[in-house]
């Protein structure tokens, strides 16, 4: 995260925290890097003077901070302290080292499907905790997601929209905000957890494509597209595109829940990770007789491995190729022997890789009976001989 030196007008001490650097500025105020006497680092936001004079804002701000205290979970920046009665209200959250998702994509380009799914799964799980606390983020976007060494973290939850202002009030405070707002926000309707699902879908599309799914343009143009036009998802991997499109449904009722989203993204992340070229060794060839006896999980794994299904289907259509191992001779009614078979074997009997016939249960039972009978006869003979000598 980029840091800037403190300006002359910036405070040096707020509450119990000493301020060191500027982390950024937005529609609500300025965010600073601070620390307490124990050295704990925090991201501290001080509210703008004009908002501090608005009593309605203060009351809304107090309710949002109270709700934020109830959020539990490792995917959010924990609220450390706040002063709602200060001349300029402020709050401090745990400092999260690492770039934002927006900066990472801007510097390195779109992320791999496995990485996008993994980040999305963690964010979905974090939103479950946020919503259970009665908070709706309302401003989820790439710049509000920090990629820490311990995983993605959501910042500025539920506070950026505490004033209840219209969408255009804060346009320009963060890159691409109009392209990540849900249609109900643009219309001024009530927000719900489904609102965050829409924003998360737009964020995952951005991480996959390096651009907003609603393109570029003025705020009015972008907001019109969000409400009336379908998202453009060219460039989103096929594994993610259907789920992202479901998140971007215009009707909140048509979007998946955060819990459903988390579970599905975990599945996609695992599958994409296994599908990497070096992720798994080639599967062993199957014998023709055993292809119909695979367990469902084995069949699923092979079917979903990249490039394997067309190859197997093609092999079934073409039959064994020149490099295939010779198959066992077909059984015929004439009883003719295979010239290459081992002496003493019957025609048409399948052998193992060592050239021996597989064990016959009926033959094993017969041999066991003969062995027992012979053993008894020998034992009786020995006993009779000893009796005669005595």
- pLDDT tens for each residue of 12-60: 999 999 999 999 887 778 999 999 999 999 999 999 888 888 988 888 7
pLDDT in tens, 306-340: 444 444 344 444 444 444 334 444 444 444 444 44
Cα separation of 10 and 30, whole Å?
Answer: 9
Cα separation of 175 and 270, whole Å?
Answer: 31
- Would the annotation count 150 as a binding residue? no
Q: Which residues does residue 34 pair with via DSSP β-bridges, in sequence order?
A: 19, 42
User: pLDDT > 90: what percent of the chain?
Assistant: 45
pLDDT at 209 over 90: yes
Can you tell me which residue has the tokens 């993610």? 240
161 vs 180, residue with greater confidence: 180
Contact yes or no for 3/97 (Cβ under 8 A): no
Q: Quick check: is 139 catalytic?
A: yes
Q: How confident is the model at residue 64 (pLDDT cuts 50, 70, 90)?
A: confident
Section 269-280 average pLDDT? 69
Q: Which of the listed ranges 59-68, 155-164, 191-200, 328-337 does the model predict with the highest average pLDDT?
A: 191-200
Contacts of 286 (CB under 8 A, 6+ apart): 294
Write phi, then psi, for 41 (nearest 5 degrees).
-90, 140
DSSP per-residue letters across 322-352 = TTSPPPPPPP-TT-PPPTTSPTTPPTT----
Q: Which range is least confidently modeled, 70-84, 139-153, 173-187, 205-219? A: 173-187
pLDDT at 356 over 90: no
Section 249-257 average pLDDT? 96
Q: How confident is the model at residue 390 (pLDDT cuts 50, 70, 90)?
A: low
305 vs 135, residue with greater confidence: 135
Contact yes or no for 92/65 (Cβ under 8 A): no
| Region label for 203, one of left (φ > 0), alpha (ψ between -120 and 50) or beta (otherwise) | alpha
Please report which residue ranges of the chain form alpha helices under DSSP H: 49-52, 55-69, 101-108, 113-132, 183-187, 193-209, 219-228, 241-247, 258-274, 296-304, 308-318, 361-389
pLDDT at 302 over 50: no
Q: Which range is least confidently modeled, 23-27, 172-176, 231-235? A: 172-176
Largest CA distance in the chain: 124
Contact yes or no for 32/1 (Cβ under 8 A): no
156 vs 87, residue with greater confidence: 87
Q: Which range is least confidently modeled, 129-133, 322-326, 379-383? A: 322-326
Q: How confident is the model at residue 360 (pLDDT cuts 50, 70, 90)?
A: low
CA distances from 110 to 72, 98, 154, 235 (A): 30, 17, 20, 9
Q: What is the pLDDT of residue 261?
A: 96
Query: Residue 75 CA to chain centroid, in angstroms?
Result: 14
Whole-model pTM above 0.75?
no
Whole-number mean pLDDT of the chain? 77
pLDDT at 214 over 60: yes
pLDDT at 351 over 50: no
Cα separation of 359 and 318, whole Å?
Answer: 33
Can you tell me which residue has the tokens 């509210």? 47
25 vs 295, residue with greater confidence: 25
Section 339-347 average pLDDT? 43
Q: What is the pLDDT of residue 196?
A: 95
70 vs 162, residue with greater confidence: 70
The single residue of 103, 139, 196, 304 carrying the catalytic annotation is 139
Section 166-173 average pLDDT? 36
Of the candidates 2, 242, 228, the one whose C-alpha atom is nearest the C-alpha of residue 98 is 2
Section 123-138 average pLDDT? 89
- Homologous superfamily (CATH) for 13-274: Transferase(Phosphotransferase) domain 1 (1.10.510.10)
Contacts of 71 (CB under 8 A, 6+ apart): 78, 79, 129, 130, 133, 135, 157
Of the candidates 143, 156, 184, the one whose C-alpha atom is nearest the C-alpha of residue 68 is 156
Alpha-carbon torsion angle 219, 224, 225, 229, nearest 10: 180
Domain boundaries, the chain: 13-274
């Amino acid at each position: 995260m980029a840091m800037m030196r403190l300006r002359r007008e910036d405070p040096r001490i707020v509450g119990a925290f000493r301020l060191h650097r500027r982390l950024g500025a937005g529609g609500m105020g300025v965010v600073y890097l601070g620390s307490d006497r124990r050295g704990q680092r925090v991201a501290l936001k001080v509210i703008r003077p004009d908002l501090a004079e608005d009593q309605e804002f203060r009351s809304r701000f107090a309710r949002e901070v109270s709700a934020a205290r109830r959020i539990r979970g490792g995917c959010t920046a924990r609220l450390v302290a706040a002063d709602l009665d200060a001349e300029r209200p402020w709050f401090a959250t745990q400092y999260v080292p690492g770039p934002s998702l927006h900066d990472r994509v801007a510097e390195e380009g779109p992320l791999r499907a496995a990485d996008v799914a993994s980040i999305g799964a963690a964010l979905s799980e974090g939103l479950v905790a946020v919503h259970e606390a009665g908070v709706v983020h309302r401003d989820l976007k790439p710049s509000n997601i920090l990629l820490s060494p311990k995983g993605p973290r959501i910042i500025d939850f539920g506070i950026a929209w505490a004033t209840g202002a219209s969408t255009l009030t804060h346009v320009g405070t963060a890159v691409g905000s109009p392209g990540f707002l849900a249609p109900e926000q643009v219309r001024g309707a009530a927000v719900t957890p489904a609102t965050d699902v829409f924003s998360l879908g737009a964020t995952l599309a951005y991480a996959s494509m390096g651009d907003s799914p609603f393109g570029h343009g003025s705020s009015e143009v972008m907001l019109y597209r969000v409400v009336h036009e379908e998202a453009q998802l060219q460039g989103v991997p096929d594994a993610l595109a259907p789920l992202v499109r479901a998140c971007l449904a215009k009707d909140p009722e048509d979007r998946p829940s955060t819990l459903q989203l988390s579970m599905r993204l975990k599945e996609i992340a695992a599958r994409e990770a296994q599908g990497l070229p070096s992720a798994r060794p080639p599967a062993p060839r199957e014998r023709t007789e055993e292809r119909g006896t695979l367990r469902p999980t084995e069949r699923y794994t092979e079917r979903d491995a990249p490039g394997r299904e067309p190859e197997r289907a093609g092999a079934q259509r073409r039959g064994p190729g020149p490099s295939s191992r010779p198959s066992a001779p077909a059984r015929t009614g004439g009883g003719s022997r295979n010239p290459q078979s081992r002496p003493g074997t019957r025609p048409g009997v399948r052998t193992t890789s060592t050239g021996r016939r597989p064990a016959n249960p009926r033959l094993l039972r017969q041999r066991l009976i003969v062995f027992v009978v012979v053993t008894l006869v020998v034992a009786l003979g020995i006993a009779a001989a000893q009796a005669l000598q005595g």
